[in-house]
């Protein structure tokens, strides 16, 4: 009997362990930290042996294959030991993909926009009455859904870390939103390696599969030019003239876009969408192409796109305080994501940024900051890079060391009619558990002070 070891007891790991158990493998899960109570309960219910608070090397190195959770870097000592023993290491996506049966997948990746696009595709398919599950980086564990459900379609948000461990898995519909610098610390600060990881979304695709991508993204266009891609290509764009025999989507100057695949097409008026800004026009174009490729009727796509509400922590209204609008964009953990947030602002901005810098180059934000931001509140353990980048660009730059201090400074700086925008451009790990924790605390503070 093959022995499967699962590294990491989070949502990816517990699902992989349960799927391995259901498939009849001898399975063991190991986590260097603590496993959340809800995951422990499920592991106990399925009688999966596990450990937490450290790794037992002998048990791990006896594995025939290791399923590594995406948050564990290659530099982790236990991973280095596994590699030295030449034990195969795969991702949850690769593992779960072996047991799909006849089910098919829509897989979404990109540096920005993938959560909104994935959620919108899922909504369109669900509204159309399809038997569909949501997973990957959001929703339930992909592996757990495969183990416990019987779905016809899986809509998956995939990070570059999940794609790194994918070898034979194939996306029936692959969506690549953009490639901009992010997580370079996990790729030896090599943008080329990071871009290669994102392009793994196209691996193993066949002629009848679909690849949906932004034709406005220069990096994607370059990467496509370097590869011999045989699948149907469906580009979307707002700035680039495109034409594809298989289908495409294009945003015109009046805020309308048309998405067409084969003989089916849908026209969307972006002014009627509940999600605003250029970045959401891109998200809706990609989602519409994916839905058409899957076979959803155009009228249903339009209804679902118009009905779709903003996802949490992405330009999410948090309330009004002293006549200023407060906006939670905690999910904006890189420069490109903040670019789209600032681009969408139509009011004078008090901008709250900062956290764990991931090798950011803030130059793309300077024009918007100069034009729209009158106060930048830096929130982090080390604010030197942000202060240096925007001093002389933004009239007022304030360094703070805690959420409370940052929000008090933002409130003091905000005027009636302003927007106070939490859009950090950085990871959250210096002061918070994750970006959700940062965004939830921001929203709670606004709610408490608005009373």
CATH topology of domain 316-450: 3.90.190
What CA–CA distance (Å, rounded) separates 178 from 258?
A: 20
Alpha helices (runs of H) in 167-217, residue ranges in sequence order: 191-199
Q: Which helix (H) or strand (E) covers residue 268, if one does? A: strand 264-269
Length, in residues, of the chain:
451
The answer to whether the beta carbons of residues 176 and 214 sit under 8 Å apart is yes
pLDDT tens, residue by residue, 82-120 = 999 999 999 999 999 999 999 999 999 998 888 899 999
What CA–CA distance (Å, rounded) separates 15 from 373?
A: 44
pLDDT, position 358: 73
Encode 322-352: b = buried (16+ Cβ within 10 Å), e = exposed. eebbbbbbbbbbbbbbbbbbbebbeeebbbb
Encode 109-131: b = buried (16+ Cβ within 10 Å), e = exposed. bbbbbbbbbbbbbbbbbbbbebe
Looking at domain 95-307, its CATH architecture is: 3-Layer(aba) Sandwich (3.40)
pLDDT, position 31: 94
The answer to whether the beta carbons of residues 396 and 390 sit under 8 Å apart is no
What CA–CA distance (Å, rounded) separates 144 from 15?
A: 4
The answer to whether the beta carbons of residues 124 and 296 sit under 8 Å apart is yes
Contacts 24+ apart (CB under 8 A), 124-127: 124/287, 124/288, 124/291, 124/296, 124/300, 124/301, 124/304, 124/305, 125/153, 125/155, 125/291, 125/294, 125/296, 127/300, 127/303, 127/304, 127/307
Tens of each residue's pLDDT in the chain, 451 residues: 689 999 999 889 999 999 999 999 999 999 999 998 989 999 999 999 999 999 999 999 999 999 999 888 888 999 999 999 999 999 999 999 999 999 999 999 998 888 899 999 999 999 999 999 999 888 889 999 999 999 999 999 998 888 888 999 999 999 999 987 655 556 556 777 888 889 999 999 999 999 999 999 999 999 999 888 999 999 999 988 777 778 999 998 788 999 999 999 999 999 999 988 888 999 999 999 999 999 999 999 999 999 998 778 888 889 999 999 999 999 888 887 888 788 878 899 999 999 888 778 898 899 999 999 999 999 988 889 999 999 999 999 999 988 999 999 999 999 999 999 999 998 877 788 888 999 999 999 999 998 7
CATH no., domain 3-90: 3.40.50.720
257 — phi, psi (to 5°)?
A: -130, 150
- Do domains 3-90 and 316-450 share one topology? The answer is no
If we measure between CA atoms, which residue out of 409, 404, 362 comes closest to residue 385?
Answer: 362
Alpha helices (runs of H) in 23-113, residue ranges in sequence order: 37-45, 57-60, 77-84, 92-97
Q: In the chain, where are the structural domains located?
A: 3-90, 95-307, 316-450
pLDDT, position 344: 79
What CA–CA distance (Å, rounded) separates 249 from 289?
A: 7
What CA–CA distance (Å, rounded) separates 224 from 231?
A: 12
DSSP line for 99-128: T-TT-EEEEEE-SSSHHHHHHHHHHHHHHT
What CA–CA distance (Å, rounded) separates 6 from 154?
A: 22
Structure tokens at 300: 């249903």
Q: Categorise residue 212: left if φ over 0, alpha if ψ from -120 to 50, beta otherwise.
A: beta
With tokens 């995951």, the residue in question is 39
pTM score of the predicted model: 0.77
pLDDT, position 440: 94
């Amino acid at each position: 009997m093959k022995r499967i070891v699962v590294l990491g007891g989070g949502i990816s790991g517990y699902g992989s362990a349960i799927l391995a158990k259901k498939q009849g493998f001898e399975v063991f899960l190991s986590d260097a930290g603590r496993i959340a109570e809800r995951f422990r309960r499920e592991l106990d219910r399925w009688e999966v042996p596990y450990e937490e608070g450290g790794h037992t090397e002998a048990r791990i190195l006896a594995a025939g294959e290791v399923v590594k959770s995406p948050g564990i870097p290659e530099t982790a000592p236990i991973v280095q030991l596994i590699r030295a023993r030449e034990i195969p290491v795969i991702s949850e996506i690769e593992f779960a993909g072996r047991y799909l049966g006849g089910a098919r997948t829509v897989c979404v990746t990109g540096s920005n926009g993938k959560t909104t696009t994935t959620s919108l595709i899922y909504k369109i398919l669900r509204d159309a009455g399809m038997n569909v599950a949501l997973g990957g980086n959001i929703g339930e564990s992909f592996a757990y859904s495969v183990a416990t459900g019987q779905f016809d379609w899986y809509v998956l948000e995939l990070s570059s870390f999940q794609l790194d461990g994918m070898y034979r898995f194939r996306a029936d519909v692959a969506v690549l939103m953009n490639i901009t610098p992010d997580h370079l610390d996990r790729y030896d600060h090599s943008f080329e390696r990071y871009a290669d990881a994102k392009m793994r979304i196209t691996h193993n695709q066949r002629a009848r599969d679909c690849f949906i991508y932004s034709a406005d993204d220069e990096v994607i266009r370059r990467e496509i030019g370097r590869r011999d891609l045989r699948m149907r290509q469906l580009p979307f764009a707002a700035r680039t003239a495109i034409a594809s025999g298989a289908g495409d989507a294009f945003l015109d100057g009046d805020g309308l876009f048309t998405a067409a695949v084969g003989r089916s097409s849908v026209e969307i008026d972006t002014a009627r969408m509940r999600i605003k800004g250029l970045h959401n026009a891109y998200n809706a174009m990609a989602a519409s192409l994916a839905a058409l490729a899957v076979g959803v009727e155009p009228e249903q796509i339009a209804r679902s796109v118009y009905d779709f509400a903003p996802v949490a922590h992405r330009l999410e209204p948090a309330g009004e305080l002293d006549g200023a609008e407060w906006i939670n964009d905690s999910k904006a953990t890189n420069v490109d994501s903040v670019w789209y947030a600032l681009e969408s602002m139509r009011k004078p901005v008090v901008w709250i940024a900062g956290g764990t810098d991931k090798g950011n180059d803030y130059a793309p934000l300077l024009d918007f900051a100069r034009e729209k931001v009158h106060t930048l509140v830096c929130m982090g353990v080390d604010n030197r890079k942000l202060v240096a980048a925007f001093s002389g660009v933004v009239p007022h730059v304030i360094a703070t060391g805690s959420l409370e201090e940052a929000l008090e400074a933002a409130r003091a700086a905000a005027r009636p009619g302003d927007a106070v925008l939490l859009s950090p451009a950085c990871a959250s790990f210096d002061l918070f558990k994750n970006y959700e924790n940062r965004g939830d605390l921001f929203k709670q503070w606004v709610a408490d002070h608005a009373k």
